Chain A
Amino acid sequence: MTIKYKSIKEIKNMISNKEISNKEVIQEVFSLINEFQDLNAFITLNEENSIKKAEELDNNPSDLPLAGIPIAQKDLFCTKGLRTTCGSNILNNFIPPYSATVIENLENAGCISVGKTNMDEFAMGSSNETSFFGNVKNPWGKNLVPGGSSGGAASAVAAGLVPAATGTDTGGSIRQPASLCGITGIKPTYGRVSRWGMIAFASSLDQAGPMARTAEDCAFMLNEMCSHDEKDTTSLDNEIPDFQENLNSSLKGRKIGIVKDLDLSSLNDDVVEIYQNSLKEFESMGAELVDISLPHLSLSVPAYYVVAPAECSSNLSRFDGVKFGMRSEDAKDLEELYVKTRSEGFGDEVKRRILIGSYVLSAGYYDAYYKKAQQVRRLIKNDFENVFKNIDVIMTPTTRGPAFKIGSKGDDPIQMYLEDLFTISANLAGLPAMSLPNGNIENKPIGLQIIGNFLDENTILNFAHMFQNETNWHMYTPEGIIQ
């Protein structure tokens, strides 16, 4: 009996059928993590506590929905008593005195937080190369990036070390690594999941979500992650549905929006072919393709790279060496304390974005950049509102191609920013969106993105689940297809 590559659902069954004890599950997780150390998927492990919790569950079995399920937590969620670094040197020694609402929700549902996953520093990156703790490797190829910023999470799930992980998505940080690692991940509607205890990158865009092997597992986990949280005023108090409710609804007559403004010619031929095959698959299930226009979509990346850095430049001001986190050793006065701490504590990408953000907010530039970007954001939102009057979902490729080589885009931030071309608009509009595996290119997985209407996670999960019923792309692992 092994839990490697098993889904949440499968592990749950194995435990309840007594095929495996809770302790054996957790022990295997840690031996797998150990075996696959070179992936560098984890920054901090929570082994002792996890085993203790598993033993308790063996003594007192629980019928909580996620009882005993090992979950890897992105190292951007504060975990009480467990180091939380956000992939940064500046938080190298930070042990939070409280836990994020997401962590509490999942742990209250019985899950075991086995460790904290590696990530791009402060979630700023698309390749997991900006982590202070070294880049994460893609289990599909040790010279490949796993994507980012939730790279450690994607790598750990793709390698079968854990059935699921938490991620966060500000411009594609769940969907892009899910695509590059061949797993399924969803970014819910902005406000579905509380941001309390999530270390902020860009507050108006950040949203947490699950990363797992299947859409079904994502739905299951999302049920436990979402809550209306009075500690987060941007958290929505709309009713939270059962996300598994519509998984098997028929797709007959349902409408898929195909964005005609999207220029697919710059994409790898294989990506286009895989995308079109998937659309055919949906047509064969009875769905209809409808051409739609999102005229301001091309402005997503520039608008995003104004709004996100602006918010980050302010959000990261608290890391100043005064109250927590690292403090430069040899500062002689206050000015030096700030300058040295922040120079030593932050990596280049974070500094780049703080600089961009400070610039676009500064007097005389605010109107030309920040204000304009917010106006563009409004237009993009309106575009989506219009098209969703007539369609159920929008589909695009998640990424422009499969995983690229570590270091191959290192010196060109613009190329790296374009990685998020297809994913960013959902964050700007606050819409739910997911990525699921829909093909392989030279044994490297690639994903399909499904964007849904505001609060309509259930429809995209439905489309994804039906696709996974009909295809087996989600069954592929670096070691071949699961039988």
Chain B
Amino acid sequence: MSWETVIGLEIHVQLSTKSKLFSGGSTEFGAESNTHVDLIDMGLPGVLPVANKEAFYKAIRFGLATGANINQTSSFDRKNYFYPDLPKGYQITQMAQPIVEKGSIKIAVDDYEKEINITRAHLEEDAGKSIHDMFEGETGVDLNRAGTPLLEIVSEPEISSAKEAVAYFKAIRQLVTFLDICDGNMAQGSMRCDVNVSIKKSGDKELGTRAELKNINSFKFIEKAINFEIDRQIRLIENGECVVQETRLYDSEKNETRSMRSKEEANDYRYFPCPDLLPVIISDKELKEIKENLPELPEEKEMRYIQEIGLEESEAKIISSSKAMANMFEEASSKTNDAKLIAKWLVGDVSALLNKDNIEIDESNLSAENFGILIERISDNTISGKIAKSVLEEIWENGSNVDEIIKTKGLIQIQDESLLEEIASKVIDANPDQVATYKSGKDKLFGFFVGQVMKETQGKANPKSVNLILKELLDNLN
């Protein structure tokens, strides 16, 4: 029996506004518990929400970038349920009239591309955090996060595998970071997702019963959780059992999903229009302004890098794949005339270091300015490429300034031709056997002499000059 998997994702993107969706409370991450909480976030009696327009603007950017419809009149509803970290006993969300509807995004998986439709993207407030492991027998509540604006992006159930789901999540992450509407920081929970998974017999039109996997916040876990869930559902059905509609939790330690609550136990959220908030209206002028100021998107960057800067297609693709990478490229390029060399280094040595440490470029010690200067020092022949590599490694370790490293370590390239000639002659004199072999026609040995000169100069010799000088000296030998 062959099975098809049907997956839909609900991604919660934390919008990077300064203040919360309905209050002036700060959205800064990592502050001491319950310090970024104002009267509204606490849900005190008598307080009222006021919608933060900035969140709307950011949501609209997402809508425009995915070719979606922007609802210039959108409204808020209340989703009612009790939980200690939900201060009002309801969450304010957009149910009936979301700000964004009907968009789409392209994903790339291995060797094919696919378009995934986005049903809707709506604004809602985040809840606080319940902390279960800090106080013996008690639960702590931290409301710092309560009221933080979220954009919930709901996909159509058009995703067919765990790989596609990850690719979709990555595409959304790339987009929201390029749009500068979310920092994309998954470890801090800036992006989380719920995954709806069901299976059906190949070719069946009707969808199977789905399970919803809650609150997954890493690429790796999305893939693992989905694959576990697909296997579980196939096993159930092949054993003659049924998939139950339910909410399941993914346990990353045990790599399994387990039931949280069944449909019968599901809350009736009693949605109704929030009477405290009037519909929010976005004027044509506001919409036009957002459109005009939409940041350059990855595909546009890629094209520009190829056409205007002359990068290789593969380089342009890698550099435009993440906001941090593109930023590094563009900022470093402004420090030097050699953008192509910047690209070469970014895609080569820098990417290798990133892969080794498994980090993003904005998490590294390398600043755009320092990187730009490093490349400039190669272009202006202050240091050789080989020395540059070791300088880069040093920056990678401790973030020191390029020129400082060059100065304190005396790494400046030796340009003085008479000095180089002197060293080259010494090398030739000291290795009569190799000279003889070379002269007998073993051209490959030329590299040996270059290496020896480099060794003598601790790599500081300008390789071009060394080549010329050695060639001349050797050729002139009888």
Contacts and interface: CB of A to CB of B under 8 A. Distances in A.
B84 A322 contact: yes
A78 interface: yes
Given A96-B45, A96-B46, A196-B48, A370 B88 contact: no
Contact of B84 (A91, A100, A197, A334): A334
A354 to B, nearest CB: 11
A96 B44 contact: yes
A388 interface: no
A86 B45 CA distance: 10
B451 interface: no
B441 interface: no
Nearest to B143: A323
A362 B42 contact: no
A232 interface: yes
A65 to B, nearest CB: 25
A311 interface: yes
Contacts of B271: 361, 366
A370 B78 CA distance: 14
Contacts of B80: 313-314, 317, 361
B275 A311 contact: yes
B278 interface: yes
B270 A361 contact: yes
Nearest to B269: A363
Interface in B267-298: 268, 270-272, 275-278
A299 B268 CA distance: 28
B43 interface: yes
Interface in B24-51: 39, 42-51
B78 to A, nearest CB: 5
Given A314-B80, A314-B89, A314-B272, A199 B277 contact: no
B103 interface: no
Interface in B369-388: none
B82 interface: yes
Which of under 10, 10 to 19, 20 to 34, or 35 or more describes the interface residues of A? 35 or more
Contacts, number: 101
B50 A91 contact: no
Contacts of A322: 84, 87, 141
Interface residues of B, number: 29
B475 to A, nearest CB: 85
Contact of A314 (B42, B78, B268): B78
Nearest to A307: B275
Nearest to B83: A334
B82 A338 contact: yes
B82 A320 contact: yes
Contact of B46 (A199, A230, A363): A199
Contacts of A317: 80, 82, 88-90
Nearest to A358: B270
A362 B87 CA distance: 21
A94 interface: yes
Nearest to A311: B275
A91 B45 CA distance: 9
B46 to A, nearest CB: 4
30 contacts: A78-B44, A78-B45, A78-B46, A97-B39, A195-B46, A200-B46, A200-B276, A231-B48, A233-B49, A233-B50, A233-B277, A234-B276, A234-B277, A234-B278, A310-B272, A314-B78, A314-B272, A316-B89, A317-B82, A317-B88, A318-B87, A323-B87, A324-B44, A334-B84, A334-B139, A338-B82, A361-B270, A361-B272, A366-B270, A370-B272
Per CB-CB distance, the 3 closest pairs between chain A and chain B, nearest first, are A317-B89, A361-B270, A203-B275
Interface of B: 39, 42-51, 78, 80, 82, 84, 87-90, 139, 141, 268, 270-272, 275-278
